[in-house]
Amino acid sequence: MVNRTLNAIIEGFNRLISEVDFNKISVEMIMKEAGVSRSTFYRYFKDKYDVMNANFKNILDYYVVPGRCRNYRDLCFHMFSYAQNNLKAFKRALDSTGFNSLSNFIYEYAYQTALKITRHNRNGQGFTPAEELQVDVFCNGICAVYRNIANQRYKIEASVAADALFEMMPESLKHLWWDTAEALPGAE
């Protein structure tokens, strides 16, 4: 079910972040851009970080669905493409700092998503201890990759980047994801 108010707030944030540095955006600016009251805003979000992170979550969740991505390589391609196509806004969002920063959220959400996919395809079994370490390093690395994309460090096509990132995935997990045609619990 589509929540128009929630989407209006996220879309308002996206319009602002494409024009204004993150540290200059206020909750009041987001409310005005979205056309919602203070009580409506706080019904859905606790602060501007929460909106920013919900936006990234929506993007990732959109692709973590069988049919949109066949495997983790496809997911890397879509996420790398998204970052390149929304460079200015993505850089501004990544400039956020602190516990609720986008970098911290990307790490945590990517890790939890990887764990959910793995458990789904292993009948409830999660990572082995070695995989846990590998996924931890991989997810931290993804955060650095996003910062470097935002700073235009890489001169690489999304398909080449996706191939390279896929090769770095733990071998035991590389082809486990999306082996089944059914959607993940909680995925759209």
Rounded Cα gap, residues 151 and 47, in angstroms = 26
Average pLDDT over residues 5-13: 96
Long-range residue pairs from 159-166, CB within 8 A, at least 24 positions apart, any chain = 159/77, 161/76, 161/77, 161/80, 162/73, 162/74, 162/76, 162/77, 162/80, 163/73, 165/73, 165/76, 165/80, 166/71, 166/72, 166/73, 166/76
Share of the chain above pLDDT 90, in %: 49
Q: Which one has a higher pLDDT value, 43 or 110? A: 43
Q: Cα(88)–Cα(186) distance, rounded to whole angstroms?
A: 30
Q: Show me where the domains of the chain are located.
A: 52-174
As beta bridge partners, residue 66 has 69
**Burial classification of residue 146, based on how many CB atoms lie within 10 Å of its CB (0-12 exposed, 13-18 middle, 19 or more buried):** buried
Model confidence over 47-106: pLDDT tens digits?
Answer: 999 999 999 999 888 888 777 887 888 888 998 898 889 889 989 999 888 888 999 999
> How does residue 174 score in pLDDT terms, banded at 50, 70 and 90?
confident
- Specify the higher pLDDT residue, 173 or 93: 93
Mean pLDDT over the full length of the chain: 87
